[in-house]
Homo-oligomer: A and B are copies of this chain.
Amino acid sequence: MPVVTIKLAGNLTREQKRQIAQEVTNTLERVANKPKEYVYINFDAQPDEDWAIAGQLLDEE
């Protein structure tokens, strides 16, 4: 029941997702005693144009 959402700009490879999912799940199991099978992780990668920091889109110069 931890539901972990990871939103980010750009892309992750399948291998990066695989490794992040594994490590984050291990962390939640070890530190918070959450049974592995209840840990849901969701990756949500979006183009730079859909993110802004400090009022500037990430693809702006």
Q: Which residues of A contact B (CB under 8 A)?
A: 1-9, 12, 14, 16-28, 31-32, 34, 36-37, 39-46, 49-58, 60
Contact = CB atoms under 8 A, between A and B. Distances in A.
Contacts of A5: 4-5, 7
A1 B34 contact: no
A27 B52 CA distance: 14
Contacts of A50: 17, 42-45
Q: Count chain B CB atoms within 10 A of each CB in A9, A55, A60 and give the residue with the most.
A: A55
B4 A4 contact: yes
A25 to B, nearest CB: 3
Contacts of A19: 27, 31
